């Protein structure tokens, strides 16, 4: 499905993030402290009619594996459930990473990936490391994912 990926304010990602990642919980559980700082970045994939069908947020945050290294933490990635498996997640992730690399020196992206999404992250070039763990307020197990920009 063709989508257009663009940077948006935090309010542009929170409704879909809430529906997909925090269903049945108050909307406030999808509004995170890292959303508002000016160096946080948010991306949305939209259909031709403007519907937001995929989102991802990135926060400047060192990785737990290399605390002194500049990196982006990917959080809140979500795709409209009925459209999962149609390339929207790949489009929003690739579009966001391209925009980040074009404007920022950070060359690393890391995430706490839900175990159910590990295959997706591996197909996008993430190394999945460590044992599964629980993230507070999320029932599903996660694993650490790490992506490094290829050396030019």
Residue-averaged pLDDT of the chain: 92
| Residue 100 and residue 92 in contact, taking contact as beta carbons nearer than 8 Å | no
Average pLDDT over every residue of 15-35: 93
Dump pLDDT digits (tens) for 59-104.
999 988 878 888 999 999 999 999 999 999 999 999 999 999 999 8
Q: In the prediction, which pLDDT does 106 show?
A: 86
Place of tokens 């508002």: 36
pLDDT in tens, 114-129: 888 999 999 999 999 8
Q: Is the predicted pLDDT of residue 152 greater than 70, yes or no?
A: no
**Spatial contact of 2 and 42, defined as CB atoms under 8 Å apart:** no
pLDDT at residue 1 greater than cutoff 90: no
What domains are there in the chain, each with its CATH number?
4-148 (3.40.630.30)
Residue 151 pLDDT more than 90?
no
Predicted local confidence at residue 69, as pLDDT:
82
User: In degrees to the nearest 10, what's the CA dihedral of 124, 130, 134, 135?
Assistant: -60
**More confident: 68 or 137:** 68
Tokens representing 51? 């519907």
Across residues 18-39, what is the average pLDDT?
92
145: pLDDT strictly greater than 80: yes
């Amino acid at each position: 499905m063709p989508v257009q990926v663009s940077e948006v304010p935090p309010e542009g990602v929170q409704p879909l993030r809430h529906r997909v990642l925090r269903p049945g919980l108050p909307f406030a559980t999808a509004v995170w402290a890292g959303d508002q700082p000016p160096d946080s970045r948010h991306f949305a994939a939209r259909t031709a009619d403007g519907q937001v069908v995929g989102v991802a947020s990135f926060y400047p945050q060192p990785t737990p594996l290399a605390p002194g290294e500049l990196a982006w933490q990917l959080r809140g990635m979500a795709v409209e459930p009925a459209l999962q498996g149609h390339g929207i997640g790949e489009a929003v992730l690739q579009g966001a990473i391209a925009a980040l690399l074009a404007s920022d020196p950070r060359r690393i992206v890391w995430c706490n990936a839900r175990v159910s999404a590990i295959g997706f992250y591996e197909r996008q070039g993430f190394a999945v490391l460590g044992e599964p763990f629980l993230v507070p307020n999320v029932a599903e197990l996660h694993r650490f994912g790490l992506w490094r920009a290829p050396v030019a």
